[in-house]
Amino acid sequence: MAVTPWSRTWTFFAGAWHEGNVPIMGARTHGAWAGTSVFDGARAFEGVMPDLDLHCARVNRSAQKMMLAPVVPVDEWVGLAREGVGKFGADAQLYLRPFYWAEAGGFSSIVPGPESTRWCLCIYEAPMAPPTKGLSITLSPYRRPAPDSAPLEAKAGCLYPNNALAMIEAHDRGFDNCVMLDQQGFVAELAIANLFMARDGVVLTPAPNGTFLDGITRRRVIELLREEGVAIVETSLSYADFAGADEIFSTGNLHKVQPVVRIDDRLLQPGPMFRKARQLYWAYAHAPTAKAG
């Protein structure tokens, strides 16, 4: 089977920058066989890196939740990110991934040894979707874990096979993404993004309940819309609520703000709340305060 070639990549590891997909783990590395790794994802595009500091702070919080040592201060992450982005062209659309993992076990082989924490920063080309490229979505048979069954407070690598299974099943049925419910049957998120809907001029989104990541882009869009006087309600929502919505859009680091143009067999158009959210986010991202973040 052919392997998709990596896009242009630079990785800071063990004190130096390396070009390409640098080997960082061995067969006995705890993060490889036991899944003790965390990461985050920031974006560089159009000369800006919105909320870079918040993403770097979150990876350190994730490390602590995963019993790892957050050994890189936030300002060091930020400085390295800016240095690495400079290795690409000015128009490059980049994904920035700060990454921690355990190299060895602790008092038990299954428990990570915090003193063995290692880290790298990987930056690579990742094109963003065009502004009006919409998603088709459906309901996934897979659900998000409960807070007492997985390290859901961390952006942990071990959580992503659950999302991958959901994405594969949806793609096999001809959809781009899928709605995942929580264990109580309420909508949690899309497989790889947070989810919003609009109805009668009000924006609604699932309330964070510990089953999904309360995204940095999600929180930023909520803040920006509220500042513009848009009514936003964070609450428990059913799949039927979304199926009957006036419009649906998603937020996430990969494509930032993206419209949903089909849910099951129902066609939708990118609506006014999506357009307002995207316009406000892009204006925020290019503001001097965001550039400095």
Strands 177-181 and 135-143: parallel
pLDDT tens sequence across 218-256:
999 999 999 999 999 999 999 999 999 999 999 999 999
In the chain, which ranges are continuous DSSP H helix?
Answer: 30-33, 52-65, 74-85, 160-172, 216-227, 239-243, 272-285, 288-292
Q: Is the pLDDT of residue 288 over 90?
A: no
Task: Output the six-digit token pair for 72.
Answer: 């890189």
pLDDT higher at 131 or 271: 271
* Residue 131: predicted pLDDT: 79
* Residue 130: predicted pLDDT: 87
Report percent pLDDT > 70 for the chain. Answer: 97
Average pLDDT, the chain: 95
pLDDT tens sequence across 92-151:
999 999 999 999 999 899 999 999 999 999 999 999 988 778 999 999 999 999 999 999
Residues 6 or more apart from 216 whose CB is under 8 A from it? 51, 54, 55, 58, 253
Which phi and psi (to 5°) does residue 64 adopt?
Answer: -60, -40
Which phi and psi (to 5°) does residue 223 adopt?
Answer: -60, -45
Identify whether the C-beta of residue 263 lies closer than 8 Å to the C-beta of residue 138. Answer: yes
- How many residues are listed for the chain in this entry? 293
Angle subtended at Cα 50 by Cα 293 and Cα 180, rounded to the nearest 5 degrees = 130
pLDDT tens sequence across 202-216:
999 999 999 999 999
Q: Identify the structural domains of the chain with CATH numbers, from first to last.
A: 9-125 (3.30.470.10), 135-288 (3.20.10.10)
* Residue 238: predicted pLDDT: 98
Across the range 44-65, mean pLDDT stands at: 97
Identify whether the C-beta of residue 99 lies closer than 8 Å to the C-beta of residue 122. Answer: yes
